[in-house]
């Protein structure tokens, strides 16, 4: 089997794991957004070498379903040919850390949970800074060109955004996507298909901004702290 064919099988296995996790009540939206953006093998290599133990991996550990993790696929004999020895060792180490922390680190029920409560609380400007791993996750998964703006928002004490947010209609159908979103404040940053998605967000009562705008950091920051926003 060629590397290209094996890579396709690897990505299919990643998506199948996400589908099974969703059936168990956990939809890894940020993971799926990164997979769509970067491709299976490249994204797997990026994640297994991350210094951050992502909330999704900790959640799978809490569910006792690390067999659904990307790390589990990386160390499997089936896909070993796609990864270096360093990749496999890094994945194995993350699996070990996830299991060691499962009793002391509760699962994160943040933006990746299915059907999150509409009244979920959010951090506000001037409140305690969100856990560093959540911002690190967002920075890692979001488009790199938004990095400076995101670090600005983080320093300002704003909560981390949902990366790869899907806007749905009344029937639950996805009608638009945002690179970043703060659902509590109805603020979104658009990248791909921004011109098409912006009207959908506008009609739903959101404030949508184009991520490539030169003043994106200040504009979005102001929107998040306006009276009807997060603060």
* The pairing of beta strand 162-168 with beta strand 174-182: antiparallel
Rounded to whole angstroms, the Cα distance separating 151 from 81 reads 37
The residue among 22, 64, 13, 20 whose CA lies nearest residue 43 is 13
- The helix (H) or strand (E) run that includes residue 208 is strand 207-210
pLDDT at 115 over 50: no
Percent of the chain at pLDDT > 90 equals 23
The residue among 156, 159, 167, 163 whose CA lies nearest residue 139 is 163
Rounded to whole angstroms, the Cα distance separating 195 from 86 reads 42
- Token pair of 177 as six digits: 């996507």
Query: pLDDT tens-digit profile of 202-216?
Result: 999 999 999 888 899
**For the chain, how long is the longest CA-to-CA vector?**
58
- Calculate the alpha carbon distances from 92 to 88, 89, 96, 153, 215 in Å: 6, 5, 6, 34, 42
Q: Where are the domains of the chain?
A: 3-101, 132-225
Give the neighbor-by-neighbor strand order of the sheet with 187-190: 162-168, 174-182, 187-190, 207-210
* HSE value, Cβ hemisphere, 13 Å, CA-based, for 43: 23
Percent of the chain at pLDDT > 70 equals 83
**In this structure, what DSSP letter does residue 25 have?**
T
pLDDT at 226: 67
* Cβ-contact 97, 53 below 8 angstroms: yes
pLDDT at 171: 81
User: In terms of pLDDT, which residue wins out, 124 or 215?
Assistant: 215
Average pLDDT, the chain: 79
Query: pLDDT tens-digit profile of 62-114?
Result: 888 889 888 999 999 888 889 999 999 999 998 888 888 654 444 444 444 33
Rounded to whole angstroms, the Cα distance separating 211 from 231 reads 22
- Token pair of 45 as six digits: 């290599």
Q: Which of 42-51, 78-87, 111-120 has the lowest mean pLDDT?
A: 111-120
């Amino acid at each position: 089997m060629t590397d290209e064919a094996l890579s396709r099988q690897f990505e299919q296995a990643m998506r199948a794991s996400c589908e099974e996790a969703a059936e168990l009540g956990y939809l890894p939206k940020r993971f799926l957004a990164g997979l769509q953006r970067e491709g299976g093998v490249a994204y797997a290599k990026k994640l297994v070498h991350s210094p951050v133990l992502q909330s999704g991996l900790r959640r799978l550990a809490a569910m006792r379903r690390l067999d659904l993790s990307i790390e589990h696929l990386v160390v499997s004999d089936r896909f070993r040919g796609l990864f270096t020895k360093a990749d496999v060792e890094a994945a194995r180490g993350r699996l070990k850390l996830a299991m060691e922390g499962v009793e002391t680190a509760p699962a994160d029920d943040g933006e990746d949970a299915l059907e999150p409560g509409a009244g979920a609380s959010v951090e506000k400007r001037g409140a305690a800074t969100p856990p560093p791993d959540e911002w690190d996750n967002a920075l890692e998964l979001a488009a790199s060109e938004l990095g400076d703006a995101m670090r600005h928002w983080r320093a300002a004490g704003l909560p981390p955004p949902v990366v790869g947010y899907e806007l749905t209609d009344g029937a639950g159908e996805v009608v638009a996507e945002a690179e970043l979103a703060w659902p509590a404040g109805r603020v979104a940053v658009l990248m791909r298909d921004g011109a098409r998605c912006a009207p959908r967000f506008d009609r739903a009562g959101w404030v949508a901004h184009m991520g490539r705008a030169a003043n994106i950091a200040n504009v979005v920051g102001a929107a998040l702290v306006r009276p009807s926003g997060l603060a």
